[in-house]
Structures are given as structure tokens and as C-alpha cells.
């Protein structure tokens, strides 16, 4: 005698898809326009309508929060997006979030969310290097993969993720490294994992503090201080540094040459910054490696900080958040060593 065993189907994950614009919502005059196109033309409902297969993996509802290229993301937009996601994550009928985003600042927004959302539920930020109208557009598959990851149990507790080109990246590490290629997104230590035949596979975990282990909560932050970035170059004088100091910033990230080297012509202005109560963070314009304290410059003497391995534009995000609750240089330095 045989007995049929009926396996209960696992309920589909409930995903909120938030649209903010970007290339993934763009449209070109011709199918060969892969780099020249109108950005942020399509709304999130239009994009999802062209991806009916997504309904097979998740119950999806949409929200259109913004409709512009990500170069227009400022502090106010980061706060608005973060607070909306935080509100959604608290709901029992939401299992994960996907945000469609322009690629220009996708790594900054994702890192901000990585540090401020107090939830273990998956949050995935996704974009495209080619608009949906282009031949071989990466947008539809990137979005499908982002939904797959957000709907997966294995993506829980890993912080905010960026999905692109079949890869899953931690928001802490990922950086856009090319203006037009589809493999533009890289992490210095490699991706966390891949999506293979619609299945997310993880091979490593984020090592630094994030989300539920972070000291910052988006629910408690209503504004962030201004932090500027100064890009070093040969033959530089201190006029632009002093202009930045006069702009009202609370800190400057100095994207220095090499291992945080500061030209003699710039040192006095950065020393003056600390006398004025403005923090100075030495980083590197190289895009990789660790900036070491008291190596290229006497940081202890000048009361300067270093970025550790963070690229300047991500160091800015971290410094903005650190300054919301702290002004002690030693504790601010610890933030770069712990996050």
C-alpha cells in the first residue's frame, strides 16, 4: 500500500519594490544607445510590467519614491529613503525590500542604508548600466536577481546588498569602477556571492559591523552634518581647501595621493581646520589599500583621522553618521576601524 505525501508549498516572499529612477528606468532613441539615453523615464510599475517572471518568486508591490538620476541624491533623499524602508521593514507583511537606483551613487546610498537600518530582513539595491531600451540591457536580469536575493532566506542578516552582473556585493565594499561597462561594480575583496540559475549562493560574510550591530538608527536621525571631499593633485595650492573650510563643513575627507600623502603646501590649511573644530580624515585617491595612521603624516600630533580602507566617498557617508553622535577624534577614528 502506498501513501501520497503532499508537501506544502512554501509561501512566496512579500517584497516591496521602491523606484527612484536611474538608468534602469531610462530609455534611448535607438536600441544601440547604451550610454546616451534619457534617464529616469520609466516608472517602477512600467519596469515591473516588463518582468512578469518576477511574480513567480515573490508577491511584489511597488512604490515610486523618487524619479531622477542618482547624481541628484543628497542628504535629504538619503534620510527620506532610509526612513521609508525602515517603516516598511517593521511590518509583518514585508519580507524584504528592493530599491531600483541610478548607478552613479548606488554605492553611497547602499552604504548609508547598511549602517542605519535596524533589521535582519534583506534590503537589495539594484541598478543598470544600460537602459531597458538597449540591446543586451542588464536591467531586467539585474532586477530579477535582486528580487530573488531579497526573497531568499539566505540573504537575511547580511546587511544591505547590491546586486549587479550576476554578483552579490556587500554595500560596505562595492564601488562603481567604470562609466559604461556592465561589470562596472567591484568589491576589493570580491563579491559575497553569485546568482546562478536564479539561485543566490553566498561564499563569505560581511566582517564589519552593520544594521542591527550598528550604533546608528535611521529612526533617530533627522539630519546629518555636512562633510566635504577634497581631491588631491599635483601642483595643488591651499585655496580650495580653505574655501571648503569656509563652506560650513564639520569634516573634510582629504582624498590624498598614495598612502594618504599630503603636500607641504596643504598641511597648514588642514592643521588650521582642526584649530577651527573641523575634522580632517586622510584617505587615498588610489581606490584601494589601507591608509595607515602616523605613517605619511603625524596624525596624532595634528589630531587627524585616517579612512582605513574606505574610498573617499564612502568615508564621507561614515563620517556624516559618526558625527551625529560623537565629536571625539579618538572615537571617530574607531568608527573607521569598526565599520
Give the whole-angstrom CA distance, residue 152 versus residue 99: 16
23, 34, 105, 211: the active-site residue: 23
Q: Give the 3-state secondary structure of residue 260.
A: coil
Name which of 22, 94, 96, 20 is nearest 63 in CA terms: 20
Instruction: Summarize the chain as % helix, strand, coil (round to 5).
Output: 30, 20, 50
- 279: left (phi > 0), else alpha (psi -120 to 50), else beta? beta
20, 34, 62, 103: the active-site residue: 103
Residue 103 known to be catalytic: yes
Instruction: Compute the chain's Rg from CA coordinates.
Output: 21
Residue 2 known to be catalytic: no
Name which of 193, 167, 165 is nearest 181 in CA terms: 165
Does 219 carry a binding-site annotation? no
Does 62 carry a binding-site annotation? no
Q: Which residues of 303-330 are buried (b: 16+ CB within 10 A; e: fewer)?
A: bbbbbbbbbbbbbbbbbbbbbeeeeebe
Give the whole-angstrom CA distance, residue 29 versus residue 172: 36
Name which of 234, 19, 236 is nearest 126 in CA terms: 19
The C-alpha cell that represents 79 in the structure block: 534620510
Give the whole-angstrom CA distance, residue 324 versus residue 246: 20
Does 246 carry a binding-site annotation? no
Phi/psi of residue 58, nearest 5 degrees? -160, 150
Catalytic residues: 23, 103
List, as residue ranges, the binding site.
Answer: 70, 103-104
Annotation: binding site for substrate: 70, 103-104
Amino acid at each position: 500500500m502506498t501513501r501520497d505525501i503532499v508537501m506544502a508549498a512554501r509561501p512566496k516572499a512579500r517584497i516591496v519594490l521602491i523606484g527612484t529612477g536611474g538608468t534602469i528606468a531610462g530609455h534611448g532613441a535607438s536600441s544601440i544607445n547604451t550610454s546616451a539615453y534619457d534617464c529616469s523615464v520609466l516608472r517602477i510599475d512600467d519596469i515591473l510590467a516588463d518582468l512578469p517572471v518576477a511574480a513567480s518568486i515573490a508577491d511584489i508591490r511597488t512604490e515610486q519614491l523618487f524619479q531622477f538620476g542618482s547624481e541628484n541624491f543628497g542628504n535629504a533623499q538619503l534620510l527620506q529613503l532610509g526612513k521609508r524602508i525602515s517603516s516598511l521593514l517593521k511590518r509583518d507583511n514585508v519580507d524584504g525590500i528592493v530599491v531600483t537606483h541610478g548607478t552613479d551613487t548606488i554605492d553611497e546610498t547602499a552604504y548609508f542604508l547598511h549602517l542605519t537600518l535596524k533589521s535582519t530582513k534583506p534590503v537589495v539595491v539594484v541598478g543598470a548600466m544600460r537602459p531597458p531600451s538597449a540591446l543586451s540591457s542588464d536591467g531586467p536580469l539585474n532586477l530579477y536577481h535582486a528580487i530573488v536575493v531579497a526573497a531568499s532566506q539566505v540573504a537575511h542578516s547580511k546587511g544591505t546588498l547590491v546586486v549587479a552582473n550576476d554578483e552579490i556585493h556587500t554595500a560596505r565594499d562595492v564601488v562603481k569602477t567604470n562609466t559604461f561597462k556592465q561589470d562596472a561594480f567591484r568589491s576589493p575583496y570580491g563579491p559575497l556571492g553569485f546568482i546562478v540559475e536564479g539561485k543566490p549562493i553566498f561564499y563569505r560574510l560581511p566582517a564589519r559591523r552593520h544594521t542591527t550591530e550598528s550604533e546608528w538608527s535611521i529612526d533617530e536621525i533627522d539630519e546629518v552634518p555636512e562633510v566635504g571631499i577634497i581631491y588631491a593633485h599635483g601642483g595643488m595650492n591651499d585655496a580650495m581647501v580653505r574655501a571648503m573650510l569656509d563652506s560650513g563643513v564639520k569634516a573634510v575627507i582629504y582624498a590624498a595621493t598614495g598612502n594618504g600623502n599630503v603636500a607641504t603646501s596643504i598641511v597648514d590649511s588642514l592643521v588650521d581646520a582642526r584649530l577651527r573644530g573641523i575634522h580632517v580624515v586622510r584617505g587615498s585617491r588610489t581606490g584601494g589599500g589601507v591608509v595607515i595612521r602616523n605613517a605619511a603624516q603625524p596624525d596624532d600630533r595634528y589630531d587627524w583621522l585616517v579612512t582605513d580602507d574606505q574610498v573617499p566617498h564612502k568615508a564621507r557617508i561614515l563620517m556624516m553618521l559618526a558625527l551625529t553622535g560623537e565629536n571625539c577624534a579618538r572615537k571617530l577614528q574607531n568608527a573607521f576601524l569598526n565599520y
